[in-house]
Amino acid sequence: MKRPTKFVFVTGGVLSGVGKGITAASIGNILKARGLSVNLQKCDPYLNVDAGTLNPREHGECFVTKDGAETDLDLGHYERFLDQELTSSSSLMSGRVLLKVIQDERAGLYKGEDVQIIPHLTAAIQDYIINAGEGFDVHIVEIGGTVGDYESLSFIEAIRELGIRVGRENCLYVHVVYLPFLGTSKETKTKPAQNSVRELRGLGISPDILVARSEEMPVESVREKLSLFCGVAPRAIAMLPNASSIYEVPLTLEDTDIADVITEQLDLKVKKPDLKAWREVVKRAQTKHSRKVTVGIVAKYMDNQDTYMSVFEALKSAALWNDTDIELKWVDAEKIEKNDVAEMLKGCDGIVVPGGFGTRGLEGKITAAQYALKNKLPYLGLCLGLQMAVIAAARNAGLTDASTKELNPAAKDLVITTMEGQEGKENTGGTMRLGNYDCNLAAGSLAQKVYKADKIVERHRHRYECNNDYRDQYESWGIRASGTSPDNHLVEIIEGIDHPYFLSSQFHPEFKSRPNRPHPMFNGFIEYLAGKK
């Protein structure tokens, strides 16, 4: 008889951004290292149906799963820490659940019952959670927001009820809190954490494990105080001070023996943990290398570096495995439009032009790509970065009006245009090419050399495509389409012909990069830059 799935619920208190996502991913990491099959899920309280319409300046990047779900950036952490691909079932937003409940009510599925938050909405949430965990030994669920937020209450109530539904012996609750340090008194304060636990208890959940985040490691008496006032056993309290790299967190949790607490309470039979590969990642992250490269990120979202989280992590991972230190330099795409591009890119060994939406900053990105083509500056373009590169090549070759329909629909030469079947839907959500698509690589191309393969599968998130009417002109522009869809209808990769390293993809390779296995496009880029040092 198959054992039931065990559930680990991760909530947060005191303040937002306390580290629930990294904590959940790290727990998954150390449980998987013990031979367990693990899945992760993020429950977000926003009324959006998916994360595709959230503001990236406030919420960071939109991470895309292999089956095309637009999700919260925490799923990127989950995939990198677990080294496994997740699906749309790992992302649940309030809007999606509410929409289903309303649709079921309209379809008469409630058979005349009054439809209420409890039990109907909370039961629907539980169904999503249980279905996502089907077939796994452990299903870890992060509840977005902070305990006490009105919008999170239905999720908190749902996981409380789920403990009754599947049996308390199959559930474990982890609460992540923050311990502020007062410099005036040189004291770590536990009162905010106590209040957060009290509030969670008031909602019917007593945490089994407390993860205490702090700037530095508190004195041991802090653990004793938390145990006394929060009702959590001392061995079930994990102190988690700031780390130099987020990849240290699983090892820090491993050293606290929290995995033993979890496996004992959930009665899980496990193997001796194998964290050798992960320790190698951390060792490399902590090593000072003799070589250093500076990479310019030609960006339009400058308010929040989380907007390019997966890009940054992919670059750092590639640097680690090429024994190279990396400095990431922000370059404001809007400012390039008004300033000397050579001066703004000064000191960069190479540049990356990442994805994005909207017209702001596009001319600056095109100018940066033009400069890279003319001056043989190594260039890596990601999604929008490919489109800007094609426009740059066309303009360099004399098509001064070359543009994208997104920027100038009336342009004479729309070398980038709306993909077939999407005309008139440019401003609506969910109308893009999303998720995994196959790609064939041209023999002898830089792309084939970097991938060491002829066929690849990559994830997409975009609405516009290269206009096939101009493809026969690419070589005269100094570029070539070195990656295409299997039917040769869609351009997936372009590269410079007479250029040391100019490579761009229509897809988002950053989503498939791992800290222990850098993505080929990023690895090739950093390998080339490091080789020049």
Q: Which residues are designated catalytic?
A: 383, 508, 510
- Element containing residue 224 per DSSP (H, E): helix 220-230
Is residue 479 within 8 Å of residue 393, measured between CB atoms? yes
**How far, CA to CA in Å, does 12 sit from each of 116, 209, 228, 419?**
26, 12, 20, 42
Is residue 209 within 8 Å of residue 31, measured between CB atoms? no
Burial class (CB in 10 A: 0-12, 13-18, 19+), 168: exposed
Secondary structure of residue 495 in the 3-state scheme: strand
Can you say how many angstroms the Cα of residue 517 is from the centroid of all Cα atoms in its chain?
16
Place of tokens 């005036």: 184
Is residue 259 within 8 Å of residue 253, measured between CB atoms? yes
Indicate the angle between helix axes 20-32 and 258-265, nearest 10 degrees. 70
233, amino acid identity: A
Torsion over CA: 57, 63, 69, 75 (sign): negative
- How far is Cα 514 from Cα 509, in angstroms, rounded to an integer? 11
Residue-by-residue DSSP string for 26-91: HHHHHHHTTT--EEEEEEE--SSSSGGGS-HHHH---EE-TT--EE-THHHHHHHHHTS---GGGE
Is residue 291 within 8 Å of residue 304, measured between CB atoms? no
**How far, CA to CA in Å, does 311 sit from each of 42, 61, 109, 284, 517?**
21, 10, 44, 19, 14
209, amino acid identity: I
User: What residues are paired with 514 via a beta bridge?
Assistant: 517
Can you say how many angstroms the Cα of residue 143 is from the centroid of all Cα atoms in its chain?
16
Determine the length of the chain: 533
**How far, CA to CA in Å, does 39 sit from each of 62, 163, 167, 383?**
20, 18, 19, 29
- How far is Cα 490 from Cα 481, in angstroms, rounded to an integer? 10
SS (H, E, C) 377-433: CCEEEECHHHHHHHHHHHHHCCCCCEEECCCCCCCCEEEEEECCCCCCCCCCCCCCE
- Element containing residue 484 per DSSP (H, E): strand 479-484
What is the DSSP code (8-state) at residue 272? P
User: What residues are paired with 404 via a beta bridge?
Assistant: 416
User: What residues are paired with 438 via a beta bridge?
Assistant: 457
Secondary structure of residue 480 in the 3-state scheme: strand
Is residue 228 within 8 Å of residue 194, measured between CB atoms? no
